[in-house]
Amino acid sequence: MKTRILLFALLFTGVLSYAQQDAQFTQYMYNTINVNPAYAGSRGALSMFALYRTQWVGLDGAPVTSTVSMNTPLNESRLGLGVSLINDKIGPTTENTISADLSYTINTSEDWKLSFGIKATANLFDLDATKLTNVVPDPSLQNYSTFSPNIGAGIYWHSDQAYLGFSIPNFLQTQRYDDNEVAIFKERISYYLIGGLVFDLNDEIKFKPAFLTKMITGAPLQVDVSANFLFYEKLMLGASYRWSAALSAMVGFQVSDGLYIGYGYDRETTNLDNYNSGSHEIFLRFELFKNNDRITSPRFF
């Protein structure tokens, strides 16, 4: 128990200084809308997404994240619209982030499209100091809540077989303070570079390597690389590696034309693995096709 309390205190210290910043996802290749507004409408369908992630199971105060989102093209125009909600709990803190995305797409060739996106975000941050009673006995810490708006932008270049995107979800670096005017959380600017490429190995199997690079000012570079195989346009099996952090296994199934379900499991490659039993992530994606000709295939992104 003492070890868990110590680890929790260290985790909370990270929250107060650099935090986990934006919520972390293993299956980022299906959840691009949360980091890049230019993705909105790129699938040519009304796409609804829901994900639940419980991180570092068995470690007190570990992150638990829920997210729901929707994005769609607007009629036959070049515009796309997206909205999303992320609920992220880490120890005594809770963050609710509500975002609206707008994209505009142009054709750069017969096969490729380039999308530009902007993101408007409202963030609600809460600190429940009562949860620190037995961990950080500091009477100066009190319950704290704050609201902060932000804006972001991104670009997304894509075809039916590949994609590459760059985004900055938050242009504004915001700070939150306790009653003693001591900074307890700082939202730093994050830069995302994401990409993937689909190879047809044969008529039944497709292979897609993908990557996500996350750069935060004042924090180490984070790199995720993954390899997914799609069998018979139905079953997906894959694995990913988060540089110097975790190994993951992923499985997904296309239940119907509109419904896809996916699951991911992480194991830490750091000493933190000694104090938890891994991380679990499950998601559902449901799509209403307006025009089947506009839907990218395979359904990797």
**pLDDT over 50 (residue 248):** yes
Task: Tell me how many domains the chain contains.
Answer: 1
**pLDDT over 70 (residue 133):** no
Domain that holds residue 230: 19-290
**In this prediction, what percent of the chain has a pLDDT beyond 70?**
82
- Asked if the structure places residue 180 within a domain, the reply is yes
- Asked if the structure places residue 5 within a domain, the reply is no
- Asked if the structure places residue 297 within a domain, the reply is no
- Asked if the structure places residue 54 within a domain, the reply is yes
**pLDDT over 60 (residue 291):** no
Q: What is the CATH number of the domain that holds 23?
A: 2.40.160.40
Structure tokens at 104: 């505009």
Write the Ramachandran bin of 190: left for phi over 0, alpha for psi from -120 to 50, otherwise beta: beta
**pLDDT over 90 (residue 179):** no
- Distance CA(136)–CA(133), nearest Å, equals 6
Residue 217: pLDDT band (50, 70, 90) is confident
- Asked if the structure places residue 8 within a domain, the reply is no
Cα–Cα distance list, 209 to 39, 163, 195, 196 (Å): 19, 11, 9, 6
- Distance CA(298)–CA(159), nearest Å, equals 11
- Asked if the structure places residue 201 within a domain, the reply is yes
Span of 65-69, 81-85, 159-163, 288-292 with lowest mean pLDDT:
288-292
Q: What is the mean pLDDT of residues 227-235?
A: 95
Which tens digits make up the pLDDT trace of 27-43?
999 999 999 999 999 99
Which tens digits make up the pLDDT trace of 40-64?
999 989 999 999 999 999 998 899 9
- Asked if the structure places residue 250 within a domain, the reply is yes
**Taking the model in full, what pTM does it have?**
0.86
Span of 65-69, 80-84, 90-94 with lowest mean pLDDT:
90-94
Residue 76: pLDDT band (50, 70, 90) is confident
